Amino acid sequence: MIKTRFTEMFGVEHPIAQGGMQWVGKAELVSAVANGGGLGFITALTQPTPEDLAREIKRTREMTDKPFGVNLTILPAINPPPYAEYRAAIIESGVKAVETAGYKPEEHIAEFKKHGVKVIHKCTAVRHAVSAQRMGADAISIDGFECAGHPGEDDIPGLILIPAAAEKITIPMIASGGFGDGRGLAAALALGAEGINMGTRFMATKEAPIHQKIKEQLVANDERATELIFRTMRNTARVARNAVSLEVVGKEKEGVQFEDIRHLVAGARGKVVYENGDPDHGIWTAGMIQGLIHDIPSCAELISRIVDDAQKIIQGRLAGFVR
């Protein structure tokens, strides 16, 4: 058993979280993570409306009696989603843990805390983590350059970012980006984190609500099988390497504008990837941890294996070096 401030704060058995993932963070996966002793997060904006989110929370509760949370990612947009309504749905549903991410979370952190909801803010830079701590976040998820999705623009890998953040943060912190096994959990703890957050690794589980062919593709891929898109637009995203992401990278090198590639990166195309199993249909998110994914276990099996392996490393191999 590995106990940290993270497990104590959120009332979970193991220091492992499943972060928000568009189209993937649904009741089936979240409840399986919770039942396995981790902290799962429903992805709020995967649900078309706040009412749909409330129904998804209810559906998750029917599948687990363990703690789980909701991810609310705030992104600047001309026509933004009704964030306040999604936030209200979370609060009114009685959820007690939220993962915020993205742009200026002050308003949301303050409102969640007013209603007794604990907030983990996901950051890609030490300065953002310090800012979130100052805003009142209860915990931090620090996201290294290895991650899937948006790694920020500083390109700092976890080996540096995690201890750099640990030097400045006093609240509990979990490490994100490039984690998927017991070696990673042991390393994260050694670097100053109090748990790990995994996205891509949880996609390759039995309960993940995506096509089996995509899970098998994650197993087949190695650590090189990602591309960084939107680099020229200062909105970098790490995605799976496929025909579409390679085309996007090629067009960016030609100096195109977003409107010229909008049809390639449309979220609806990525959703179809997960539904029909064609990995080349659109852009879909995956991290470098693909190189360490070798099977498709249940969430409970995965979590148990990671914790057991981390304990063996800490108590065995590492302890054996001390004379």
- Identify the pLDDT of residue 2: 98
- Alpha-helical runs (H) found in the chain: 5-10, 27-35, 50-61, 83-92, 106-114, 126-135, 158-166, 182-191, 200-203, 212-220, 243-253, 258-265, 267-276, 299-312, 318-320
Provide, for the chain, the percentages of residues in helix, strand and coil under a 3-state DSSP scheme, each rounded to the nearest 5.
45, 15, 40
Closest CA to 301 of 59, 11, 35, 12: 35
What pLDDT is recorded for position 103? 84
Helices and strands of the chain, counted as H and E runs: 15, 10
Tokens at 258, concatenated: 């977003």
| Contact (CB, 8 A) for 122 and 152 | no
On whether the CB atoms of residues 86 and 44 are closer than 8 A, the answer is yes
Calpha distance 200→180 (Å, rounded)? 8
Q: What is 270-300 written as a DSSP string?
A: HHHHHHH--TTSS-----GGGGG------HH
Which residue from 16, 62, 93 is spatially nearest to 72, judged by alpha carbons?
93
d(CA 105, CA 126): 16
Is the CA virtual torsion 185, 237, 25, 288 positive or negative? negative
Global confidence as pTM: 0.97
Q: Is 230 left (phi over 0), alpha (psi -120 to 50) or beta?
A: left
The pLDDT assigned to 143 comes to 97
Contact status, residue 74 vs residue 119, Cβ threshold 8 Å = no
What residue segments make up the domains of the chain, in order of their start? 12-210+295-320, 226-285
Angle among Cα 312, 313, 314 to the nearest 5 degrees reads: 95
Number of Cβ within 10 Å of residue 65's Cβ equals 9
Contact between residue 160 and residue 177 where contact means Cβ atoms under 8 Å apart: no
Q: Please say whether the structural domain 12-210+295-320 has been given the CATH code 3.20.20.70.
A: yes
Query: Degrees (nearest 5) of the Cα angle 242, 245, 246?
Result: 80
- For residue 176, what are the CA distances in angstroms to 150, 207, 263? 12, 21, 30
Q: Which 8-state DSSP code applies to residue 316?
A: I
Count CB-CB contacts under 10 A for residue 301. Answer: 14
Mean pLDDT for back-to-back runs of 10 residues, the chain (323 residues): 97 97 98 98 98 98 98 88 97 98 92 97 97 97 97 97 98 98 98 98 98 98 98 96 98 95 95 97 98 98 98 96 91
H/E run at residue 175: strand 173-176
The whole-number pLDDT of residue 74 equals 94
The CA-atom distances, in angstroms, between 133 and each of 209, 221, 261, 281 are 33, 37, 37, 40
Q: Tell me, what's the pLDDT at 75?
A: 86
Amino acid, res. 116: G
> What local confidence, expressed as pLDDT, does residue 212 receive?
98
